[in-house]
Chains A and B, each alone.
Chain A
């Protein structure tokens, strides 16, 4: 593909994302006209209700963008590392692992700070990702989509009964948890953003730095080691980056599924499979998708709102089904 076309696609997608930002600031239970929104931001006043609402929506919009970026990139990364089209935190059960860790934290270590949430979620995500991948890749053929999906679904089911066991006797944990459980960016605060930001920057940095090596890995294990790529090291570092991205996002937003599944697939249709192109576009695409899902949820759910995680699952699951239908029987 010519690089001019790539530049064009990048430009269009940035414009798309740019359009979502004013939508996210103006739409919702209370619709605020665009000029009033801009005025509020530049005058920095919080006297009228509308102005207060605008300032409530700013962190939410920013958080939606950065977490969407993180999810999109981590999806592309995980699919490249596992060389598997359906790798996504929600399908691999990584989200449930993060949930379990957070519930354990709330119930037994009475954690409440965002930082503690993040560390617990990252820990849970890492352990689960490792376990699911190990189970799914035992045996002939390595980690095939169906083996990974089953390992993920099974582990998810197992972990959620542990979640119930811990949660059911504790009503206050249940109430805290049910809001977290449905992925949503509505609870974003400046504090939350500044807490996750370092994790996301490291995760994104690692992913982009690895892109060339992962592209070589895509040529096949033997060829890659022949070309001097340390395949296992690359995998471990890449997985760490992916887990950092998912874990940190999940800690604040709760489990948001399918962003990481959908975005890279659509992106690959447009620009081919080179990660050097897929990663940046997945970042922009993920941000657009999550922000868009959040706006759609706010508009559809008026006067209350539908959580972004519900919208993404609803758009994303059919795409998983499409992938499964398209795949050849043998591949499954």
Chain B
């Protein structure tokens, strides 16, 4: 390899690194600006001074309740949930090498939803127990899907197909529980099922934050190995990656993130699915896009929730907005993927 070629490669690497850093910074900046706007705007619009005052612990009449009790938990949980879905989605998509293989499409979210709906409607539970049960059930469902799709060589296509089958079964269980539920509980359950940040309180935040930080870090740290997995099973093995262990750790973290976020907010449609491809678009290929995906996820949830609350005459849960925003993109992606033979 000639020296100039080497310099070119170096340039390429540092260029990609610069692009990654710039993109991440811009995303963070956007989220920060949006967060401030979300804290300021609502039924009453408070100036930024009041927001800062409330955040630093002062008691301002009216504003302390509106910002501290209503808007801040909503903002923080939206942020966390979005990041969780972003991390999880990008992990699944990279491992299965298929942008469509996000947890919301292959049945992992449905697993957590069944458990959560069962806890909410049948057992009348809430809080930590619901999260815990959803995580366990989400893990069980993913393990089942993974086990069933083994046999011979690992095939992403088979896993997706089996995931869709499992999801169909789980959805029938959800429909059944909704049908048998008390009529007064149904609107609440439906709202939760379409993904909503309505019922957030400050109590939910610490454990959600812990989960996102811990499992998000695992996802970022293993991101390098994930890139090698992206090269394909054989190449990864020859590069010295313990593929099965890496895959299990990564999928495990992704499932915990999905299940926890789902238990808190309900399955917010398409966030997991959209974050990865958008982040990849922004940072380009060649760098791990776990963190950018998480940021994109957070941004999506915050924007959608803002639209759902204020932009339309009626208040719609965030999941409905992400669903409607995501649908055209999904169709577009499908068409593009099929054209290049990516899904087959």
The chain A residues found within 8 Å of chain B, CB to CB, are 86, 90-91, 135-141, 144-147, 149-151, 153-155, 157-162, 164-165, 167-169, 171, 174-175, 178-179, 181-182, 257-258, 304, 306-307, 309-310, 313-314, 316-318, 320-321, 324-325, 327, 329, 332
Contact = CB atoms under 8 A, between A and B. Distances in A.
Interface in B158-214: 158, 160-162, 164-169, 171-173, 175-176, 178-180, 183, 186-187, 190-191, 193-194
A313 B172 contact: yes
A158 B148 contact: no
B231 interface: no
A213 to B, nearest CB: 28
Interface residues of B, number: 58
A168 B343 contact: no
Given A164-B320, A306-B176, A147 B343 contact: yes
B240 interface: no
Contacts of A320: 161-162, 164-165, 168
Interface string B312-344: 001011011011101100110011011111011
B190 A164 contact: yes
Interface in B261-317: 269-270, 314, 316-317
Contacts of B193: 164
B82 to A, nearest CB: 17
15 contacts: A135-B331, A138-B335, A149-B161, A150-B100, A151-B338, A157-B323, A164-B190, A164-B319, A178-B179, A179-B179, A257-B168, A313-B168, A314-B169, A325-B158, A325-B162
A182 B167 CA distance: 15
Interface string B80-107: 0000000000000000000010001100
A329 B194 contact: no
B4 interface: no
A140 B186 contact: no
Given A139-B338, A158-B331, A150 B168 contact: no
B153 interface: yes
A175 B183 contact: yes
Contacts of B57: none
B62 interface: no
Contacts of B166: 317, 321
A140 B324 contact: no
A150 B105 contact: yes
A324 B191 contact: no
A313 B187 contact: no
A291 to B, nearest CB: 18
Contacts of A161: 194, 269-270, 319-320, 322-324, 326-327
A141 B172 CA distance: 32
A321 B323 contact: no
Contacts of A327: 158
Nearest to B105: A153
A164 B318 CA distance: 11
A91 B168 CA distance: 8
Given A161-B320, A165-B323, A321-B165, 14 more contacts: A86-B161, A135-B334, A138-B335, A140-B344, A141-B341, A146-B161, A147-B343, A149-B164, A157-B104, A161-B322, A168-B191, A306-B176, A313-B172, A324-B158
